[in-house]
């Protein structure tokens, strides 16, 4: 089969660092933390005091107010980031793009949890008649993809991948394959999440996955010996994936090329990664093979790097097993040190960071890296961004349930 080459022609973001790509990327390059005090919920109820909230986000800046009220926050994020990406790519569906040849694939780990909690409270207090008729379409995880399709007019493949914290990366990989095999010319792909809710905070706190460090500046500290859990974040990341043929025909701006996708299962445990990161290592190998690149061709790895004990240890071990001696030459960083962990959106915003790292020639730092861990001993680009020529990047995303995803991006030649 003659595989289509697939390039990135547009990007969009809502993150704790900013409500667009430029503000977010400036924060990443500047090593700025987007994490602050928990304000979206009553912090007195929880041992968690900090979060990566999308500050000053107003859906009315992107969507009609009446329509926005029919969307959960996770869908609002996806719509906002998608509209930025579509505009960035210069796409006008029905004019310069055939509606039936453009699709949407946006993942979410938990969907409309905020809506679910609010409507359940209403049901308990006032009965079923007071539950919103929009409850179901607001809550279901595929509605971000559905709403983006409706608002942009994209009539091609429309799907949503739900694989916990690998959802955004899986969605990009799956959308990449749709174009590669010729089933679409363009895909609006990524991930979105709005998990800062009472039950989500309670559940993650109860399983001791979150950092209980009350200092917003230092709570997220991937690969640092004193890491004590992840910081919950919210937002969305969207890429416009396009066949090279279509991009050239449209004279589109090309950020870079997506060349590899690997996905595996740990078949080990519902939350803990397989020892030694065995499943993650296989995903990296599959992605490199799919891309036709050798480990030594990769200059930078955007790590899953959650700031939890086992993830950072096992991901480091997995990188060593795949890259051998080159593991000590490749730069590895976790942008979650600045954004927190956006769960189902994490892999998508990190894919955007990977593309911009190549385009701008910048290695994003891991901030809050103060105390090295003897077993976690790679070059984590501590505390300051680094300028360097980058030809190829690997981005990792790992999810509860044992989902492992790796994506490979290259400089467009």
Q: Mind telling me the catalytic residues? A: 165
Query: Measured between alpha carbons, how far is 183 from 306 in angstroms, rounded to an integer?
Result: 35
Q: Which two tokens stand for residue 140?
A: 């279901």
CA–CA distance, 215 with 230 (Å, rounded to integer): 13
- Rounded CA Rg of the chain: 20
Q: d(Cα 354, Cα 169) in Å, to the nearest integer?
A: 12
244 contacts 5 by C-beta, under 8 angstroms: yes
Strands 256-265, 403-410: pairing kind: antiparallel
Are 282 and 264 contacting, i.e. CB atoms less than 8 angstroms apart?
yes
Tell me which residue has tokens 């679910």. 116
Classify burial at 32, counting beta carbons within 10 Å of its beta carbon; exposed 0-12, middle 13-18, buried 19 or more: middle
Q: How far apart are CA 135 and CA 120, in angstroms?
A: 10
Query: Whose CA is closest to 188, among 212, 164, 171, 165?
Result: 171
Q: Are residues 147 and 78 in contact, defined by beta-carbon separation less than 8 angstroms?
A: yes
Closest by Cα among 310, 356, 302, 305 to 330: 302
- Give the separation between CA 302 and CA 393, rounded to whole angstroms: 7
């Amino acid at each position: 089969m003659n595989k289509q080459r697939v390039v990135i022609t547009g990007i969009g973001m809502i993150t704790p660092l900013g409500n667009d790509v430029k503000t977010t990327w400036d924060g990443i390059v500047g090593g700025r933390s987007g994490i602050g005090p928990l304000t979206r919920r009553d912090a007195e109820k929880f041992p968690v005091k900090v979060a990566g909230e999308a500050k000053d986000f107003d859906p009315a800046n992107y969507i009609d107010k009446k329509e926005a009220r029919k969307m959960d926050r996770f869908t609002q994020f996806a719509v906002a980031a998608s509209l930025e990406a579509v505009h960035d790519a210069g796409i006008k569906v029905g004019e310069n793009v055939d509606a039936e040849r453009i699709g949407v694939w946006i993942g979410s780990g938990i969907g409309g949890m905020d809506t679910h909690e609010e409507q359940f409270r209403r049901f308990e207090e006032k009965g079923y008649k007071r539950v919103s008729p929009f409850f179901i379409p607001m809550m279901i995880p595929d509605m971000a993809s559905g709403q983006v399709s409706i608002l942009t007019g994209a009539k091609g493949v429309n799907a949503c991948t739900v694989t916990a914290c690998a959802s955004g990366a899986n969605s990009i990989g799956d959308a990449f394959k749709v174009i590669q095999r010729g089933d679409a010319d363009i895909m609006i792909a990524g991930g979105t999440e709005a998990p800062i809710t009472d039950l989500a905070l309670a559940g993650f706190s109860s399983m001791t996955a979150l950092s209980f460090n009350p200092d917003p500046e230092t709570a997220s500290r991937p690969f640092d010996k004193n890491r004590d859990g992840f910081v919950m974040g919210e937002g969305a990341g969207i890429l416009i994936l396009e066949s090279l043929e279509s991009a050239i025909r449209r004279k589109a701006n090309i950020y870079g090329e997506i060349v590899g996708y690997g996905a595996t299962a740990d078949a080990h445990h519902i939350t803990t990664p397989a020892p030694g990161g065995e499943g993650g290592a296989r995903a990296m190998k599959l992605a490199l093979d799919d891309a036709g690149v050798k480990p030594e061709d990769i200059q930078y790895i955007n790590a899953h790097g959650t700031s939890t004990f086992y993830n950072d240890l096992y991901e480091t071990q997995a990188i060593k097993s795949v890259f051998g001696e080159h593991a000590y030459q490749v730069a590895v960083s976790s942008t979650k040190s600045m954004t927190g962990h956006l769960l189902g959106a994490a892999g998508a915003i990190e894919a955007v960071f990977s593309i911009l790292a190549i385009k701008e020639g910048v290695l994003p730092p891991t901030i809050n890296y103060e105390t090295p861990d003897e077993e976690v001993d790679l070059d984590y680009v501590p505390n300051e961004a680094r300028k360097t020529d980058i030809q190829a990047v690997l981005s990792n995303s790992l999810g509860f349930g044992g989902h492992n995803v790796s994506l490979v991006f290259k400089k467009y030649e």
